[in-house]
Amino acid sequence: MYLQLKNKIQSGEFISLEITPVHGGSNADIFEKLNAAKLKNIIDAFVVTDSPLARLKSDSVITAFKLQEYFKKPSIATLTMRDKNKIALQSTLMGANELNVTAILALTGDPAASSNQPNVKGVFEANSTLLLEIVKCFNAGIDYSGKELSVPLKPILSLAVCNSRANNPKTLQKKIITKLRFNPAAIITQPVYNIENAKWVKSIFDEAKEQIKADTELIFGFFPVTRLKTAQFLNSHVSGVHVPQFLMQQLSAAKKIGKEEELKTGIKLSKEIFQELKSFHPKLHLMGANNFKLLDEITA
């Protein structure tokens, strides 16, 4: 799966799909809905979230393993720095490796304060670059302390994330450069909603990549916006995301007519943006809160 995923990311086209595990003991319902969706035929890999917003969900590695076994497509397990220290992170990577889950998306993680669990404390020994460094050590045959591994691991593919919007482009570029130094297979952006934004991010990324001489690929994140309240939330509360005014205005006008018109307009706009992004840079990461029917409409 390692080489299959690496080669596909580096090829001309690549589409990954975000999967959020359930708050419970079985992901069977998610698997059934995904199996019934046309979407499964166009995606190249799954990216399994790690309790996003610090809301308790089933384990990302185990879910990634089961997706990989069921659909015979690579799975990327997200790991955050929020919940685990260096020992636990390394232990999880070792266990994942034995299950042939050899692709990891490294995140710092949402703050523990946003959790729906009582009195949660975040670990946060460092940010996501520590996890990228651990993967680099493992790929060199040693653990983070420098001790040689008694049994070498299969090669691990790392991925990282970046914002799609910043007040200071140089600040964003510095953050990208920091991650590129670990030579991840790809960097996935926060959602992008127009070509101008996509070109802006890509120019910053390309310049950073040229400086570091990395072979990392850029993947644009995309989250369909079908409601004005969703667009407003992303624009106001999600760091590093910009929803353009034309999208807000059209959703606002449609909302005044009714919910059905608002949804219809949102689907139409999202489909247009998806196709434009795909034509410009056909490496995309789809996010949709497991709403596979909606994503079927958007990607058709």
| pLDDT given for residue 71 in this prediction | 96
Region 94-106 average pLDDT: 97
Number of domains in the chain: 1
Q: What range defines the domain where residue 291 resides?
A: 2-299
- Tell me the helix, strand and coil percentages in the chain, rounded to 5: 50, 15, 35
pLDDT of 3 over the 90 cut: no
Q: From CA 298, how far away is CA 226, in angstroms rounded?
A: 10
**pLDDT for the residue 2:** 78
Residue 1 has pLDDT above 90, yes or no: no
User: b/e per residue, 19-53, with b = 16+ CB within 10 A?
Assistant: bbbeeeeebeebbeebeebebeeebbbbbbbbbbe
How large a percentage of the chain has pLDDT more than 90? 94
**Confidence class of residue 4 from pLDDT cuts 50, 70 and 90?**
confident
> Which CATH number do you get for residue 131?
3.20.20.220
Q: Is the pLDDT of residue 173 over 90?
A: yes
Question: Residues 6 or more apart from 270 whose CB is under 8 A from it?
Answer: 224, 225, 226, 298
pLDDT greater than 90 at residue 12 = no
For residues 59-70, average pLDDT: 97
Per-residue pLDDT tens for 118-162?
999 999 999 999 999 999 999 999 999 999 999 999 999 999 999
* Other Cβ atoms within 10 Å of 188 Cβ, number: 24
What is the average pLDDT across 19-46?
96
- Please, what is the average pLDDT of the chain? 95
What mean pLDDT do residues 233-257 have?
92
| Average pLDDT estimate for 211-238 | 93
Of 267, 257, 219, 224, nearest in space to 243 by CA = 224
Q: What is the mean pLDDT of residues 222-237?
A: 92
CA-based torsion, 207, 208, 210, 211: positive or negative: positive
CA distance 20 to 30: 9
How many angstroms separate the CA atoms of 288 and 285, rounded? Answer: 10
∠284-52-255 over CA atoms, to 5°? 70
- Average pLDDT value for residue range 169-178: 95
Look at the pTM and tell me if it is higher than 0.75: yes
